Amino acid sequence: MDEVYGMLSRELPSPGRILLIAPDHYLRGRSAVTFRGAPWDASFGPLPEDRDGVRALERLARRQDDIFPGDHGVTEHIPRIRRAWGNVPVLPVMVRPEATDLQILAIAKALLPLLEEGAAVILSMDFSHYKPASEARREDERSTGAIRSFRFNDLNRLDIDCPRGARLFLQLMKLSGAAKSRVLATGNSDDFMASPTARTTGYVTMIFGGGQGAP
């Protein structure tokens, strides 16, 4: 992951903001879509809130600052964002399975003008879960193809842990014209284990770009 952030910081040295999309792993959000509107102040250094992002979302989603520091889908990225880009505004958004297509589209349209000013959109999402590595890799290849092809109708049938967050990400990419994608890396938790297991987790790193905004 650190290598990916190093590459992103070289391709996009001064983004105006970071939009971080993740699943609500522990279902602590009191709404289908929640966001954090408070700054981060931790040992790795501060990160400011995205005030314009908060205003864009305040009527479409629920602000719930307290749940974000306890969810690894967000906290794995926050210190890396700080190291890559310094004191950049961050808008973390967590999406639950019950988020509707209309709600996701409305949020994407509300955020689009902010992204066109220059931003990075990061989707924090695992791929296949609890399958032997060979089966997981086949499933991850299928999921990768569907995501790169913007097959919205397939998302809920994929073995990914944030299909609704993936929909929000792809809506933003589609609206901004960022249709070009490339796969940087694929992996499986078995790659790091001493012996194979039947309960693996799949990982895929992709980058989208080519639109009016940034990757």
Indicate the SS3 state at residue 93.
strand
CATH class of 2-209: alpha beta
Distance CA 119, CA 117 (A): 7
Tens of pLDDT, residues 112-149: 999 887 899 999 999 999 999 899 999 999 999 999 99
pLDDT for 191 equals 80
Confidence of residue 31 (pLDDT cuts 50, 70, 90): very high
For residue 40, pLDDT beyond 80: yes
Contacts of 66 (CB under 8 A, 6+ apart): none
Q: Where along the chain do its domains lie?
A: 2-209
Which residue type does 145 have?
Answer: G
Unique residue bearing structure tokens 């019950």: 98
pTM as predicted: 0.93
Q: What are phi and psi of 63, to 5 degrees?
A: -80, 130
